[in-house]
Amino acid sequence: MIMAAPSLGALLVIATTILVIYLVNLLWRRRNLPPGPWGLPIIGCMHMLGPRPHHTFQKMAEKYGPLMSLRIGQKLFIVASSGEAAKEFFKFHDANFSSRPFKRAFQVLMPNDIAFVEGNSPLRRHLRKIFQLELTSAKRIQETEHVRSGEMSKMIKAIPENSAITIRHYIEVMVTNVLSLMVFKKQYLAVAGKEVSSTTEEIKEIDAFKRILSDIAVNISKNNIGDVVPALRRLDPQGLESQYREVKERMDSFSSKIIAEHQERRHPGARLHSLEHEKDLIDIFLDQVEEEKKHEVTLENVQSILWNAIAAGLAPIVAASEWALAETLRNPHILEKAQAELDDVVGKSRRVQESDIPKLKYTQAIVKEAFRLHPAPMPPPHESMEPCKVFGYDIPAKTGLLCNFYAIQRDPAVWHKPLDFDPSRFLEGSPTASISVSGLRHFDLIPFGSGRRSCPAIEMGQLMVNLITANLLHAFDWSVPDRRQLEDDTEDVDHTASRAVAVTAIVKRRLPSDVYT
C-alpha cells in the first residue's frame, strides 16, 4: 500500500512544533540553573517521574549530580540528593526556603495550618511554637505518658497467640488512640478491631472518624496536575476539586462537634475543666482563640491543627514501626541481640516503659536504621521566597525545593553498604554512631526534615516508634510462615512509603502471663 505524502501544511505544523520545543528548552537552559533533564512543553518532566519519584530522582542524580533542576509542569523545582546539598538549603538558606508551593489539597483540607500553608507568617510560627510546646515538649511528654502506657498495654494484651496476625492493624489502632486522646481526649478504636462503644450513634462517629483519616491520606497523596499547570486549575481535569470539598465538609462537621464539646466543658457553669494537666491540645488552642492577642488565632486554625496532629502523625509512626519490626524479623541475629538487651535492661517481670528507652541502645539503633533505610522519602516541598545563589547557581524566587531523603540516606559516600539493614552503624565505635535524626547538626540523616519546616513532633515520633518496637520485640517471640513477605521490601506509593506487603506473623508470649493482664 502506498502512503500519501504529508501535505505542506502538516509538515509546517510538525516543523513549527519541533522548533518551539527546541527554543523553549534552549531558553530554559540558558538560565544559570543546576543541570537537569530536558522536559516537554506544558508538562515538563511529569512523564518521567513514575509512581515512586524518589527512585527516579535518585537515578537522575547519578547523571546530573546531587543538585539538579527540572520542570514539573510549569513549576521549576530544585532536587537535593545529598547531605551536603540539604545542608546548604536547610542551614544557610533556611529562612528563604521556609514557604511551601501551592497545593490545592492542602489549601482546601487544611487552610491556615502550621505545616502545609504557603508563606511563613508570624501566625504560622506562633501556632507551630505552641504545638511543639504543648504536644511534644519534655513536660508534655512526661504528663501524657499514662496515655501511651495505657494504649500499649491494651495492644500487647489484645494480640492473640498462635494465630496469623497483621501486626500493622494493631499498631495503627494503638497510635490512632494515643493521638486522639492527646489531641481531643477521645478514644475512637479498640485494640481488637471492635468499636469502643456499642451505641449506634457512637459507632457512626467512629466510622466517620476512620473514613475521614483514610480520605485525608488518599487525597494529599494524589498528584493534582493543576498544582503545577496553573492553566488547568479551573478545568480540574482529574475531578479532584469536588473530592476535596466533600472530604472537607465531613472534616468540618466532625471537628466542629469536637470543638463544641470542648467549649461546652469550658463554660463557666460547666464542670471545672481548666486545670493544666487536664487540658488537651484543643483546649490549649481554644485558650489562644479566647485571648485575642496580637496573633488572631481562629477556630479554622484549630480545626486544621486538629486534623494535622492526627493525620500527619499517624501514617509515619505506623510505617516506621512496621519497617523496624520487618527488618528485625528478617535478620534473626538482630532479633536475638535486641531481645537479649531487652531482657538485660527490662527483665521479664514487666513490659518496657518509656524510662527504659534511653538505656536500650541497640533497640534505638534498630529504629534509627529503620528511619535511615525507609524514610518518608520526600516531604512536602519547600519554596523560595526570594532569588538566591546556591553552589554558584542562580535560583529564582518561587522555586520549589524537593529534598530526596531516600537518596541522601542511602548515599554510599556516607553510609557503608547503604542497602544493608545494619543497626551497628549507630553503635559506639562506628564512624556514623554520632549522627542523630534531629536535623540540627547532621544532614545525612533527616527523616523528620530540618529547619523551619521540619516535623514539629520529632520527639514524640521517635519516642512512639522506639516504644512500639521495644514492646513488640520484648513481649513476643515471632514466627513468619512465609518469609518471602519479609524479603519483599517494595514500598507503597503513598507519601510515607509504607510497606506494600504488610507483615503477617504468628506470635508466642515470652513473659509471665500477669504482664499481659
Specify binding-site residues: 455
Binding residues for heme: 455
Nearest-angstrom CA–CA distance, 216 and 312: 10
Length of the chain equals 517
How far is the C-alpha of 125 from the C-alpha of 123, rounded, in Å? 5
Sign, CA dihedral 174-281-314-243, equals positive
In the chain, how long is the greatest CA-to-CA distance?
92
- 203 in Cβ contact with 476 (< 8 Å): no
Strands (E), 10-106: 67-72, 75-80
Alpha carbons 408 and 411: distance in angstroms, whole number: 5
Q: Which three cell numbers stand for residue 184?
A: 481531643
CB 106 within 8 A of CB 220: yes
C-alpha cell at 15: 516543523
What CA–CA distance (Å, rounded) separates 377 from 387?
27
Alpha-carbon span 474 to 340, nearest angstrom: 9
- Angle formed by the axes of helices 200-221 and 240-266, nearest 10°: 130
**177 closest CA partner among 167, 189, 168:** 189
Half-sphere exposure of 220 (CA within 13 A, CB side): 23
Q: Are 423 and 97 in contact (CB under 8 A)?
A: no
Q: How far is CA 68 from CA 60, 393, 402, 426, 451, in A?
A: 8, 10, 10, 30, 21
Looking only at the bridges linking them, the beta strands covering 400-403 and 75-80 are parallel
SS3 480: coil
Helix axes 332-345, 299-330, angle to 10 degrees: 110
Query: Which residue bears the cell 492577642?
Result: 293
Pick from 433, 410, 407: nearest CA to 420: 410
508: three-class secondary structure by DSSP: strand
- Interacting residues of 288 by C-beta distance below 8 A, sequence separation 6+: 127, 130, 295, 297
DSSP conformation class of 165: E
Q: Are strands 67-72 and 75-80 parallel, antiparallel or unpaired?
A: antiparallel
- b or e along 32-55 (b: 16 or more beta carbons within 10 Å of the residue's beta carbon)? ebbebeebeeebbbbebbeebbbb
Single-letter amino acid, residue 91? K
Is residue 167 within 8 Å of residue 499, measured between CB atoms?
no
